[in-house]
Amino acid sequence: MTADSPTGTPTSAPTTAQLDTIRGWRRALHQIPETGFVEHATSDYISQTLASMGIPHVRGVGGTGIVASLKLGDSPRSIGIRADMDGLPIAEETGLDWASRHDGTMHACGHDGHMAMALGAAHVLAAEGGFDGTVHFVFQPSEEHGRGAQAMLDDDLAGRFPMQAIFGLHNTPGLAVGHLHTRPGGLMASEDNFTIRIHGRGGHASGPHMVVDPLVIGAEIVTALQTIVSRSIPSTLPAVVSCTEFVTDGARNAIPSNVTITGDTRSFDPEVQEIMEQRMRALVENICAAHGATGTVEYTHEFAPTINDPASTDAAVAAARAAVGDSRVDGACDPWMASEDFGAFSRVIPGCFLFIGNGATGEHGGVPLHSHDYQFNDDALGAGVSFYVELVRSMLPVEVRA
C-alpha cells in the first residue's frame, strides 16, 4: 500500500474504537486454531482482514505464511514485524464464549494475540501513517514445530521482502501485563533433541548375572550426562541437558533387552552445542562398551538460539519506553532457556525479540503457556500495538524537508 502522509501528529496508542476492532480479530482467531503448516482458515482470515484495510499481501510464503507490505513515502528503508500463526494440539478448557471451535486444538500459546497485535499495528499505520518506508508484516506458520521460519527463508523471504531488521514478541505469563522485556545477545536458547538407544541382553529377574542389563546402563548414562554441563561447559556459559523419557521393553519379572532415553539440550553458543553432542556420544558409546552393551545416539538441531542484534535491541528498547513508559521496560532482562523459531530469522536478518507481559502469576493472564486453561490477556493488546507503531515510526522516520 502506498499512501500520502496523513495530516496531524499521529500517536502510537490505538484509539478505543481501534482496540475494539483488534480485540474482535484476536477472539475470532482464537476460535479457529490450527497446527503447523495447516493454518488454512487462519491464513484466510488474515488475508481477508488485510484486504479490508487495503494492504497488499502475498500468500503461500513458506506454506501457509503471509507477508503484507505497507509502504508510505519514497524511502528505500524497510523493517519486518513477525507474528506466529499456529496453535497446539491441546483441548481447550477455558469456558470462554470465544473458545476454540476446533476440537482438540487450542491457541494455548497466545499466537492469536501476536497476530492481532501485528494486524492492529498495520491497522493504525495504514490509517494514520507517520512513517516513511516499508513495513513487512510476516505471518509465520509452524512456530511450535520450529520449521516455519526456515520454510519462509527457503522461500526467499529475505530476497523477496528485503528488511534491514526484523522484530517480534511473545506474551509472557508471570510478567505484569503490558510490560516489555528484552536484552541484547542471547535471549532464548537453542533446542537440540536426542534419542539414546541401548541394546543389551534381557532375561529373568532372578538371574541378573546372566544378562547385560540396559536399565542399569541407562541409569548410569542419565547420571553421567549431567557431567556434560558441570565438567565440560565453562561455568560462564548457560547450558542444559534434560532427559525426559526412559522407556524399556521389560516386565515386572523380566530384565529388559532395550532401553530408549529421550530428551533435549539447550544453549546459546554453537560451540557449546557441539561440545554437548560430542560428549553425549562419547559417554553413551563408552559406558555401553564397558558393560558389554551397544548404544547409539540420534541428535538433531531443532531450534536455533534467538540472538538479538545490539543495534536493533537499542531501537526496540527506545521504542518500548516511548510507547509504554520507562518503568514498564527492562532492556537487560535475564535470558530464558526456552526456544523460539524467531531464532532462524535472527541468523539471517538483524533483529530483536521481546517478551510482553500477559499478567502476573495468580492474576488474569498468569496461567502458564501450553496449559489447557491458558488465556491470552486482551489488556496486553494496546501495549503491543503501541510498541510496534512507535518502533516503525522511529526506525522509518519522516524526514522534514525545507
Catalytic positions, please?
86, 143
| DSSP states of 283-335 | HHHHHHHHHT-EEEEEEEEEE--EEE-HHHHHHHHHHHHHHH-GGGEETTPPP
CA angle 388, 393, 398 (to 5 degrees): 165
Largest Cα–Cα distance in the chain? 93
Look up residue 150 and give its amino acid. Answer: Q
Q: Is 402 exposed, middle or buried (0-12, 13-18, 19+ CB in 10 A)?
A: exposed
Q: Are 365 and 375 in contact (CB under 8 A)?
A: yes
Q: Is the dihedral of CA 205, 208, 213, 218 positive or negative?
A: positive
Cell of 107: 491457541
Residues near 155 by Cβ (< 8 Å), separated by ≥ 6? 61, 62, 65
Both ends of the chain: CA-CA distance in Å?
A: 26
| Partners of residue 239 on adjacent β-strands | 267
Residues near 79 by Cβ (< 8 Å), separated by ≥ 6? 133, 134, 135, 136, 163, 164, 165, 166, 167, 391, 392, 395, 396
